[in-house]
Amino acid sequence: MKTITLSHGSGGKLMHDLIRDLFLKNLGNPFLNKMGDAALIKSGSKKLAYATDSFVVKPLFFPGGDIGKLSVCGTVNDLAVSGAMPRYLSCGMIVEDGFSYADLERITISIRDACRFAGVNIVSGDFKVVEKGAIDGIFINTSGIGEVFEDSFIDAARIKPGDKIIISGTIGDHAASILLAREDLKFKTKIKSDCSPLNKFVSSIICRDIKFMRDPTRGGLATTLNEISMASSYDIAIEELEIPVKKSVKALCEILGFDPLYMANEGKLIAVVSKSAAVSILSKMKRHALGKDARIIGEVKKEKDKKVYLKTQSGGLRILDMITGEQLPRIC
């Protein structure tokens, strides 16, 4: 008998197979079939984006954030990378019997502060309590609506050979922070999650030359690039030397056997941009606090094998497959 495992929630191959073989098979429609971070819909003359996300992170509090901040940033960022300015969020909480009132208040205040920083409001909500042991403390779902920027033309169909791949900053910070907090590891260097709302950053760079964007959360940079490759049908090649990784994150990964290319991020985006505008867009990114470490890391190739290649520091080539298992469950 088939069962659902933690790997089905990794954001990788097993999750994509599950979405295709179960959810799209039974629920598919022109909006859902695009498998975007948000659905682009029309309301009269306005073009809107709608997104939803659920958060089950463990531990609930970690350096750089908590489940409350994460629940706001996660949905805000899904709307932002879809080319929209987030406006309104809903928030649903499922809480375990016996959960600390003080922790619930702390999480609620964190949600409030994250909303204020991002410039959005919680306009609808729901609250449920379940028996002790039915869940692990608290789970949160947020959904959001945003208005698509006039200069936004985000569509994987616009990607073509020669387009450049930009990452907005260092990778793996969020997963490394969660790992240290979860295992209570005594690591000399403090690593903070990059959990941040990207909407104001996106509004400062958005233009027609940005073909596509996505935030590399579960499955990290490598898995997200595979998603882009599959959506566009083109191969993608990236340079290992150009990928920004903090020394502390790299050291932690080397000690524990993790690959930063597959580590989750919660405040970064990948942009596919026109070759002619890549340097200009990179310059705009670097002028914003969330893009100061941005790099051009590769390009779209003409081959249509739907593969992602990494040119290693030694000059070899490594195929980056979509993650199949789960490096670190309950990451967001």
Segment among 127-136, 183-192, 267-276 with least mean pLDDT: 183-192
Angle value at C-alpha 312, between 308 and 315, nearest 5 degrees: 115
Which H/E stretch holds residue 81? Answer: none
d(CA 194, CA 196): 6
**322 or 310, which is more confident:** 310
Q: Alpha helix (H) ranges present in the chain?
A: 13-18, 25-27, 67-80, 101-118, 173-183, 199-205, 220-232, 247-256, 278-286
pLDDT at position 239 over 90: yes
Q: pLDDT tier at 110 (50, 70, 90 boundaries)?
A: very high
Asked whether the predicted pLDDT for residue 89 surpasses 90, the reply is yes
Predicted local distance difference test score (pLDDT) of residue 161? 98
Identify the pLDDT of residue 29. Answer: 96
Q: Does residue 122 contact residue 70 with C-beta atoms inside 8 Å?
A: no
CB 244 within 8 A of CB 202: no
pLDDT of residue 60: 98
pLDDT of residue 187: 76
Whether the pLDDT of residue 215 is over 80: the answer is yes
All structural domains of the chain: 36-148 (3.30.1330.10), 156-319 (3.90.650.10)
Q: What rounded mean pLDDT belongs to the chain? A: 95
pLDDT the model gives residue 246: 97
Look at residue 76 in the predicted model and tell me its pLDDT.
98
Apex CA 293: angle with CA 296 and CA 241, to 5°? 50
Percent of the chain with pLDDT over 70: 100
Q: Which helix (H) or strand (E) element contains residue 309?
A: strand 308-311
